[in-house]
Structure 1
Amino acid sequence: MIGSERRPRIHCGTFDAETCWRDDKLTRLPSIPDLQTRNLVNAMDELLFVFCQKQDTLLTRYAMDEAHLHYLQDIGFRFTNNKVDLDVSLPPTASSEMNIFERLSAALPYMKLEELVQDVELEPFAILNGVDVLAEQQGWRFHAPSLQVIKHVNSKVYSTELKDKLGIWNVSQFIRSCTELDSIGKALLDSGPFLIKDTFGVSGKGNLLISTEGMLNRVSTYIAKQENNDRQTLFIVEPLLNKEMDFSCQFEILPDGSFSFISVQQVLNSDFAYQGSVTAAPPLIQRLEREGYWELMQAVSNSLYESGYFGHVCVDSMVLQDGSIVPLVEINARKSMSLIKHQLDMYLDAHSLEGYLTYVSMVGSTPIAFGDVLHAMENEGLLYKNGCRNGIIPLSANTFKVNQQRDGRYKARMYVSIVASDLVEGEQLSIRLRTLLSSLAITVSS
């Protein structure tokens, strides 16, 4: 229920905010453009339904799947959503590079939305260019730091310098030219592989592992060509640490500067890319308590507030195989996948259940309706329903179908919350889901 002091909210966002924050004048690491993967990220905004309460509205780039919406309503989620894709409502001259807020500013005058509740607050996933214009255009309440502050505190430059300021062990070095990359990189290779990090890289994008001098030479040459075209270089390099576990801390800095702790989640990564989140085990929480981790997060919060930031924060941390804790890897001054996981925790806790957040990557060759997937999951006893003690909650349908085409292979992804008594039971459910998807002529990635 919505309390008397909570206004209805408009939820929306772009999950690759770092791409929007990045300075185009900087050199880039080599990468292969992938339109289908980009489409998947654009469709992830539907995951924001977890933050919605009954009077809230979720505006997504692609209209949510009707079968998926009915399922979510059946298990207790109620919210309003746009019924057509934003692109359908945009004028023909609209740019394909618009972020979600710019798209909404252009599309809303043309859209036939259900009348929005008045006196609402805009609740974005991350602050991007045009969000304040959209709020003013629609008369929505919106209070957030400036875009300049957002870019400043989300840069890995900020988190790297903050480590030194707070006296945290820091193995990172700045690279400001291809010449520095070449010399410092060769010195690092003497001790083993190292990482080159883009200042706005995220979830595997913008991290490059260098293991040989030949790889280093090719990257240095690639950077040099861009510098010759008047681009500036700013990367961070650090030795590849012998990591045992990733985890993250979520907290919120209120507008008055006060610190509100939310959760700690263990993060499952593969090749530096996000794979899922599980609730941090009690021994880790107890150890963080003993080693002053909470006081350090308070210090991080204070520094962010002094820099002009308030709002949600996700601090990435890790445990190394020698047992030592690296408390600050980087800062995400925005909402996060781990915050989405926490929101699902609260939903499941009301039913005395637990779950973990993950996704399944797939490749298909023929279109499949998401409603058919839900039906197949229900027939196999996999689909979570109210009253079940275990099951799988499909969290996204657009990431499953956004790339579907009549001819040709397409990439698909389905985010899920696996409701189980423990990780062993959860893994069994995950295997059953993958087997089911494979039976539908979908190739499931390992």
Structure 2
Amino acid sequence: MSSARLGTFDAEKWWRPADLATLPAISRAGSDDAVATMDELLAGFCSPDDRLITRRPMAGAVRDGLAAAGITFEHVAVDGPHEPFERNVSRDLVTGYDVEPYAVLPATAHLSDSLPDTAVVAQVNSKTWSNALAADLDLPGTGTVVRSVAELSEVVSRHRSAVVKDPYGVSGRAALVVESPGVLRAIERTLTRQGKRIELVVQEKYDVRRDFSAHVRISPDGTWHHRGIQVMTNRGLRHMGSSPATSDFVEFLADRGYHDVVASVAEALAQAGYHGPAGVDSMMLRDGTLVPLLEINARHSLGLLSLVLNERAATHGLAAHFTQLELNVPAGGGIADLCGALTRYTGGEREGVLVLNGSTLTAPGGRVYFALISQHPDALRQHLLDAVAAAGMSVRGVAHAA
């Protein structure tokens, strides 16, 4: 059956209980706008008979590049006054399709009777739930859940450097590194001032050698299958890109019992009543410690998108390396200029850059995601940076961010 694909990427915002206190905000200019238009990334999951529903129209340059790479779909743009976006989508638009949301939200429930219960989805996506599961499995790297300012201060004091996480934070948002008394005092003041219920996860700030994730698909009957492993590139606590794991690394993890942990996570999710895609975030530390369960994303993810794109590329003996750039854009510039300057991927054995989104890219700038289709992507990284310059744009921050 063909799928209708849609969804809000800041799903955690809509799972988060309203009575929870929040950590001090970390301002990122334009981040809300960037997240709002990430739904067009779901094109990467599409088959030709699928329907992609986004909140904004897609640029011809983006669709043409996807089509040249063999990614085609029916597209419908639905804008509206409501947030999250799913509230603007009528059931008629998805009738006859298997509904595949990026994440299951309360606002998604009216679109299909076959989705998992939204309360279950919210529960298993909480870092509190995944931390409890890691503790039950007696895994290394388990954090501590704190429910008061006093508890927070006491637990943080046990660590030379700690990470304090909101249970519904994502990709470094609502997670703060505490390495000084001043940062801790700022958090304490913010929490006290709000007078709300406190629930935070405190973990040691690990010395990480490699971040990676495992991806599974859980069926409604509770059976599941393993999709694969992606190695992640992170900057601080923020996800920046993904690449396929080497066979040697996959074998190394198997020898360390990692696949058994993934199986336990999948079974726990199924027992809780969840079905659909799920990712397990994991780490290998510099001292050799394997932290197999850091967090669970019971939804689609950028790592899963990278994996699917790699499966497409692998049929031609290539690999997909998922990456992003924050760009400064001159007045009048846009995604068509960048696409025009790139050697784009057109399928087959030819290497190239696949532009995955960016339809709304305009001055003064924004974020664009790419797949570098090659077994050896370094030359393509430089080509991408050269194309950015040729389009009259520049990279925000460090030039080697690709």
Q: Does structure 1 residue 149 correspond to structure 2 residue 159?
A: no
Q: Secondary structure at the match of 1:130?
A: helix
1:65-80 matches, within 5 Å, as 65-80=59-74
Of 382, 407, 416, 2:370 maps to: 416
Q: Secondary structure at the match of 1:397?
A: coil
Q: Does structure 1 residue 361 correspond to structure 2 residue 361?
A: no
Bigger shift: 426-435 or 275-284?
426-435
Match of 2:154 in 1: 183
Q: Which amino acid aligns with 2:289?
A: S
Of 163, 170, 177, 1:202 maps to: 170
Q: Secondary structure at the match of 1:77?
A: coil
Q: Does structure 1 residue 385 correspond to structure 2 residue 346?
A: yes
Match of 1:8 in 2: 2
Q: Which amino acid aligns with 2:139?
A: I
Give the CA deviation at 1:259: 2.0
| Residues 294, 67 of structure 1: alpha-carbon distance in 2 compared, 3 angstrom cutoff | same
Of 224, 242, 245, 2:210 maps to: 245
Q: Secondary structure at the match of 2:288?
A: coil
Bigger shift: 282-291 or 29-38?
29-38
Match of 1:161 in 2: 132
Q: Secondary structure at the match of 2:168?
A: strand
Give the CA deviation at 1:351: 2.0
Match of 2:14 in 1: 20
Of 86, 95, 100, 1:101 maps to: 86
Give the CA deviation at 1:288: 1.4
Give the CA deviation at 1:421: 2.4
> What is the TM-score with the length of structure 1 in the denominator?
0.85
Q: Quick check: 1:196–1:207 contact (8 Å CA) kept in 2?
A: yes
5+ unaligned residues in a row in structure 1: which ranges? Answer: 1-6, 110-115, 136-141
Following TM superposition, the consecutive aligned residue runs of length 4 or more in structure 1 with deviations greater than 6 angstroms are none
Give the CA deviation at 1:35: 6.2
Q: Secondary structure at the match of 2:280?
A: strand
5+ unaligned residues in a row in structure 2: which ranges? Answer: none
Match of 2:244 in 1: 279
Once residues 353 and 387 of structure 1 are traced to their aligned partners in structure 2, the CA distance between those partners, rounded to angstroms, is 9
Q: Which amino acid aligns with 1:43?
A: T
Of 99, 113, 124, 1:122 maps to: 99
Give the CA deviation at 1:252: 1.0
Match of 2:223 in 1: 258
Q: 1:44-75 deviations in whole A, cap 9, x for unaligned?
A: 11111122111111001111112221222222
Q: Quick check: 1:178–1:221 contact (8 Å CA) kept in 2?
A: no
Q: 1:269-312 deviations in whole A, cap 9, x for unaligned?
A: 00110110011122211111112211221111111111111111
Rg: which structure is higher?
1
Give the CA deviation at 1:149: 0.2
Q: Quick check: 2:344–2:353 contact (8 Å CA) kept in 1?
A: yes
Match of 1:234 in 2: 199
Once residues 440 and 69 of structure 1 are traced to their aligned partners in structure 2, the CA distance between those partners, rounded to angstroms, is 19
Once residues 43 and 238 of structure 2 are traced to their aligned partners in structure 1, the CA distance between those partners, rounded to angstroms, is 23
Bigger shift: 261-270 or 300-309?
300-309
Percent identity of equivalent pairs: 29
Once residues 73 and 390 of structure 1 are traced to their aligned partners in structure 2, the CA distance between those partners, rounded to angstroms, is 15
CA RMSD between the two structures? 1.8
> What is the TM-score with the length of structure 2 in the denominator?
0.94
Give the CA deviation at 1:169: 2.1
Once residues 65 and 26 of structure 1 are traced to their aligned partners in structure 2, the CA distance between those partners, rounded to angstroms, is 39
Q: Quick check: 2:51–2:74 contact (8 Å CA) kept in 1?
A: yes
Q: Quick check: 2:26–2:174 contact (8 Å CA) kept in 1?
A: no
Q: Which amino acid aligns with 1:64?
A: M
Q: Secondary structure at the match of 2:386?
A: helix
Of 283, 293, 298, 2:258 maps to: 293
Tell me the matched-pair count.
397
| Residues 171, 421 of structure 1: alpha-carbon distance in 2 compared, 3 angstrom cutoff | closer
Match of 1:337 in 2: 302
Once residues 433 and 360 of structure 1 are traced to their aligned partners in structure 2, the CA distance between those partners, rounded to angstroms, is 10
Once residues 328 and 14 of structure 2 are traced to their aligned partners in structure 1, the CA distance between those partners, rounded to angstroms, is 28
| Residues 301, 387 of structure 1: alpha-carbon distance in 2 compared, 3 angstrom cutoff | closer
Once residues 142 and 260 of structure 2 are traced to their aligned partners in structure 1, the CA distance between those partners, rounded to angstroms, is 22
Q: Which amino acid aligns with 2:126?
A: S
Q: 1:344-381 deviations in whole A, cap 9, x for unaligned?
A: 1121122222121111111224131322222222xxxx
